[in-house]
A and B are shown apart, each in its own frame.
Chain A
């Protein structure tokens, strides 16, 4: 057991080194959420949510935290695993005595490290630029949101990797499968609303808004997010089921 943990940690270190070695990839992973944070954040300075005393940025910054989690856990991990499978790296791992759990554990640990870094950057810049920080006593909610977000979206990332058949399409498919939902979920626009009923039902069914609202709960007081928690749990279960059914070590 300890050996597996040690091996996973080593794998994670190698993954992180490789991640930062492809500078443009790492930069893009970080720059995309940060750019959106700064640009759209600046456009919302001084505005309040209609009929409240809650600043737009207080809701917007945690939404971008959720966005960062999804980029790192879903898009990056999903496309990474698809490329590893396509390149035959996963198959090669199967020729060694390394336990599968230790290898996947290493990939996940590296993903967690990326998520923590991206969250720290986004949170810090959101606080410095817009004065939006977690509310007093909001840290447990933030931590809980991060953990659930990583678990849910990393599982969905592994699931989507099994659908992607070529290395070239890995990134585009991963992004295209969540960006439209992120937009209609109002991740990029705190005042986004007035959707037709069928569309708001759809938004409520997907896990993007659920995670955004969990993160918002760390910044402003919200009612207990029962549905958001159930939503993420259901998506995690569905993703895990799909992974168990379709995950392959070779293409």
Chain B
């Protein structure tokens, strides 16, 4: 029976000294963390994924008896959301210092480079204000610190760089896990896994678990599938194999070794299901599993990758609803939503330009212009009473025609 606990979680270091690699970064972080009179109230840990940034924060908080208040990229990090979470963490700092169990809070914002878009509007400036006002340590982590948006945060933070973990260190760690799990692994097999991970400890441990969980011996031959994963298998090929699988296990294996974008995969599977399952009951059952996968994808975000297994399992169950009914069919790829966006790009650009003009003239956002103003302009155009408004908004004749011909606003 497959063990349910991920080895990444099972062997996650609890102490700072147990974290593999990046000794200088660990020392710099601990020095910053322990210093009560730190010159910079915030620290930005940056480096590639899977090298121990989040683990270090949790391990340090655990060792120094701090409680971590965490916000990661799966949370919306708008001004309001950050203030709601971080505000109390900062405000209750003084009360917490009286507790013998906790020395206070640590505010940890993971994946700050992911703060973008309308939903995170005001996020960076709010973080800056919190850093300024905060009486607790503020820790941020990012994979790419060079994006323009992070420049203000970098100015007020101590910067600690994390590097890829080296191959010998990963091999040594894998040897230790094999020893604890009672797996006899060939050195070359572990070497292949470590090389394949490209310095990402998390992916190396996941690979080891996927290969070694069901067997007590691991040979170089067993790792051939890992090389296949590094190959760029197209979405088309992944879907073709996915829909023709014979068993749940085959589907799980295929998905865990595929490199395609998970969101595109989910949409493509959803679009192609009616072509694959002609029986309505099978189709309903398959959609049920896909909807569950969609739910897990939402919960994964860009941080909770430990849920990826459930995402894959749900999709695999959808593929394996009735393997015997498989008939070859012509796939739709890319997903319908992407095709629709492509075909409507011209229309969306025109609409955006009109809304921008209205917004500028009426001092409202484009979204407000679209929802609150455009329907009335369309009514005026239909009644031939829009000449004054159109000239005041400086809309071109073709733009006025576009509005009047639009079916849905």
| Chain B associates with chain A | no
